[in-house]
Amino acid sequence: MQPFPCNQCGLCCRNVHLAEETRFLDRGDGTCRHHDVASKRCAIYADRPEICRVDRQYELHYSRTYEWDVFVKLNLEVCEALQSHCT
Ligand code: SF4
């Protein structure tokens, strides 16, 4: 299984208010309270919640429905939608 090709744009971490599953991370303006805006990195990366781990979410909820490559493609479509919406 290839790793998810995250380009570390940080947009998912800056829009946690858009999904019910990540809303608990919202610091009040839609950005995750653990997101370091300057570096665009996660300040708790090694200990980030399971909802932030694409491979873990795949194992837990989607591996019986999609092949990994299809799941990656669907997630990348969300990345692209965020990039179009936010830039
Ligand atoms: S915990 Fe880390 S990976 Fe998860 S949304 Fe926040 S900054 Fe992003």
- What pLDDT sits at residue 72? 97
- What kind and span of H or E run contains 42? strand 41-42
Which tens digit of pLDDT belongs to each residue from 5-36?
Answer: 999 999 999 999 999 999 999 999 999 999 99
Give the number of the atom of ligand 1 that is nearest the alpha carbon of residue 48.
1
Ligand 1 midpoint to CA 34 (Å): 6
CB atoms within 10 A of CB 16: 22
What does the alpha-carbon distance between residue 53 and residue 47 come to, in Å, rounded to a whole number? 10
Question: So what's the pLDDT on residue 40?
Answer: 86
How confident is the model over 40-87, as pLDDT tens digits? 899 999 999 999 999 999 999 999 999 999 999 999 999 999 999 886
pTM for the whole structure:
0.90
Pocket test for ligand 1, best of 32, 37, 40, 53 (most atoms within 8 A of CB): 32
